[in-house]
Amino acid sequence: MSDPSKQPEAPNPDTDAYAHESELEAHLQPKRMYINMGPSHPAMHGTVRMKVELEGETIIKADPEIGFLHRGFQKSCENVTWTQCLPYTDRLNYNSAMMNNFGFLNAVEKLIGLEIPERAQYIRVIASELHRMHDHLTCVGATALELGGFAPFLYAIEGRELIMDRVTELTGARLTTSYGRVGGLNRDLPEGWIPKTIKSLDKIQELLVEVEGLLMKNRIFVDRMKGTGLLSAEDALDFGFTGPCLRAAGVDYDVRKAKPYWVYSQLDFDVPVGTHGDNYDRYIMRLEEMKQSDRIIRQALAKLPSGPIIVDDWRIALPPKPEVYGTIEGVMSHFKLVMEGIPVPPGEVYDSTEAANGELGWYLVSDGGGRPYKVHVRAPGFPILSAIPQIIEGKMLADLIPTFDMINMIGGEVEQ
């Protein structure tokens, strides 16, 4: 029996009774809708905010706003020594830190006019290609995940973890390695690293077969990738695309082939080129490039010569520790290198290497001191992201996700 003196309960907003019939049948507003994707949206890699103007599901206008992560890369570099820039370059593309490291060092070495030892060149190639695979695995896995496939993501990440383990053994860090030094490398390969790496590569190839098998015959995946995110070769050049995104459009340009650096000219590999310039082709490019990277690493490991890993010049490389502790010359050179930095002769240089996403260019100016006067980075993701409004306007909102995945925008480098 209910108590007649008790007041009726207030309506609970969490129950269905609260939603009226008329509200459930409300029509979509016919007017334009403005939505913000980001700055921390799961589909926006890094912190990009995309202001999207929608009519129904069609994107009328897209305006990317990219400054949320900006951390003053150039200004920071211009106020530390050349070697101290390395940790900053790591963070440009945190998926392939060593490629950024080595790209920067390559430009500095060009500016000095320095040839690094052959063993160091081989190890740089091996480490770069490992990180290229690392980057592509992340990209392919994340794309699969964002289009609804969790299993391929797990396989890709398993492969990535194997690379991370090898990278940790090599450099002591998983993500931000700071492994290079002007004139060579920080340290030599650890004992037993080569057979371990080959074993990891075998496993990664197996995992790639799984990933391919799961994705290439998946109707949802293929339908969302094929024919979306189209950009013609001419427009891609106009925007300054490089790397897999340019090659997907059918342009055969790879810095490793066009202007070989280190020992790339001595290694045998192919550059895959696509035809359509859509997301599917970009995805295929990344898969093929991983296979080529595998080839390169195996060859380089087989050919790896012995010898020093850094130049024997105390004006550039730190002297060996017994010399620092035992001789006055060693102490002085150590002190000068740490406190004042490497004296890079005055001048300027523009130099580029092929990073995972494309041409990573460096324009450096030195005034002769131990610190860079100007460090300009041509990050490959920056021009690619700038093309997004053109690619996506007039297309569906759902196309934004695979397109954004496949350009593989990395917040760190775009936002400098």
Partner 1 sequence: MDRVSAHLPEAVAERYDDRAGGAWAVIHAQHLPKVAAYLRNDPELNFKLFGSIDAVDRLHLAESDPRFEIIYILYSLTRNEHVRLKVRVTETTPEVPSLVPLYKGANWWERLTYDFYGIKFVGHPDLRRILMYDEFQGHPLRKDYALRDRQPLIPERPIKDIFRGPGTSGLS
Could you say whether residue 275 binds partner 1 (CB under 8 A)? no
Q: Could you give the string, one character per residue 371-410, with x where binding to partner 1 holds by CB under 8 A and - elsewhere?
A: --xx-x-x---xx-xxx--x--------------------
Could you say whether residue 67 binds partner 1 (CB under 8 A)? yes
Burial of 267 (0-12, 13-18, 19+ CB in 10 A): buried
* CA 178/CA 190 separation, integer angstroms: 16
Could you say whether residue 111 binds partner 1 (CB under 8 A)? yes
> Quick one: 94 or 373, whose CB is closer to partner 1?
373
69-77: Cβ within 8 A, 24+ apart: 69/411, 69/412, 69/415, 70/415, 70/416, 71/415, 71/416, 72/416, 73/375, 73/377, 73/416, 74/374, 74/375, 74/376, 74/377, 74/416, 77/372, 77/375
SS3 61: strand
Least Å distance, CB 374 to partner 1, is 5
Could you say whether residue 251 binds partner 1 (CB under 8 A)? yes
Could you say whether residue 93 binds partner 1 (CB under 8 A)? no
> Vertex 77, ends 364 and 387: CA angle to 5°?
70
The DSSP symbol for 265 reads G
Could you say whether residue 70 binds partner 1 (CB under 8 A)? yes
In 3D, which of 203, 204, 192, 179 has the Cα closest to residue 123?
Answer: 179
Of the candidates 87, 308, 347, 395, which one interacts with partner 1 according to CB under 8 A?
A: 347
Least Å distance, CB 353 to partner 1, is 13
Where does residue 121 fall: left (phi above 0), alpha (psi -120 to 50 degrees), or beta otherwise? alpha
Of the candidates 33, 39, 61, 74, which one interacts with partner 1 according to CB under 8 A?
A: 74
Q: Which residue has the tokens 């740490």?
A: 338
> Quick one: 254 or 294, whose CB is closer to partner 1?
254
Could you say whether residue 350 binds partner 1 (CB under 8 A)? yes
Contact 42, 400 (CB under 8 A): no
Least Å distance, CB 371 to partner 1, is 11
Could you say whether residue 349 binds partner 1 (CB under 8 A)? yes
Could you say whether residue 235 binds partner 1 (CB under 8 A)? yes
Least Å distance, CB 18 to partner 1, is 37
Least Å distance, CB 40 to partner 1, is 17
The encoded tokens of residue 281 equal 């082709």
Stretch that binds partner 1, among 97-105, 305-313, 341-349, 398-406 (CB under 8 A): 341-349
Could you say whether residue 415 binds partner 1 (CB under 8 A)? yes
* CA 349/CA 342 separation, integer angstroms: 17
In 3D, which of 162, 160, 280 has the Cα closest to residue 212?
Answer: 280
Binding site for partner 1 (CB under 8 A): 66-67, 70, 72, 74-75, 79, 110-111, 113, 234-235, 237-240, 242, 246, 251, 253, 258-259, 345, 347-352, 359, 361, 363, 365, 367, 373-374, 376, 378, 382-383, 385-387, 390, 415-416
